[in-house]
Chain A
Amino acid sequence: NAGVTQTPKFRVLKTGQSMTLLCAQDMNHEYMYWYRQDPGMGLRLIHYSVGEGTTAKGEVPDGYNVSRLKKQNFLLGLESAAPSQTSVYFCASSYPKAGQSSYEQYFGPGTRLTVT
């Protein structure tokens, strides 16, 4: 199993450009998440999905859109990139099922995005 993979690993954008980050998981997990990580801020939840075709806002959703057309993929889009969106983006997946010993998230390796 590859687990959670993210594409691309690095990207540099100019202000106003758009791009899409792809997250894929092969664990048949229902839940998927997008986080951003900034120095001194920990990880902050951008959007999440509890199943195919569903998405919901997290703590910092402004400036981002997401789609979950297939269970294994979760896309994060930036329509008009801003320097404030320079960050490391992590995708995660989980499968919280009652009766499990734990409900952990599995994280991808991250995408480092720089907006100039």
Chain B
Amino acid sequence: LAKTTQPISMDSYEGQEVNITCSHNNIATNDYITWYQQFPSQGPRFIIQGYKTKVTNEVASLFIPADRKSSTLSLPRVSLSDTAVYYCLVGDPWGGKLIFGQGTELSVKP
């Protein structure tokens, strides 16, 4: 199973770009990389997903190098409301080998 590792916590200020990296050295061919956001007392919420190269949506970008052994979630111009825990998930969407990272607690300060 792919083991995922992410920083435990990060601090940032409003308006800055935040990059959170997840390491997944044993990623399998069929595995996708997905990032979720979680607020206290709520279930995780989907942010972005990718398989390789770069993916961008209206809230974030996901960078995946050619060897796919890591991925970086980029949040442009964070605000106070982006304070949350961010999880990296590696796994096959059609299978049950889904491994979450331990989560990165992002704190955005004014």
Interface residues of A, Cβ cutoff 8 Å to B: 4, 33, 35, 40-45, 48, 50, 56-59, 90, 92, 94, 96, 102-110
Contacts and interface: CB of A to CB of B under 8 A. Distances in A.
Contacts of B36: 107
A44 B93 contact: no
Interface of B: 1, 32, 34, 36, 41-46, 48-49, 87, 93-94, 96, 98-103
Contacts of A45: 96, 98
Contacts of A90: 43-44
A58 B98 contact: yes
Contact of B93 (A58, A96, A107): A96
Given A45-B98, A58-B98, A103-B32, A110 B93 contact: no
B49 A104 contact: yes
Interface centre among A56, A57, A103 (most CB of B within 10 A): A103
Given A59-B1, A110-B41, A42 B100 contact: yes
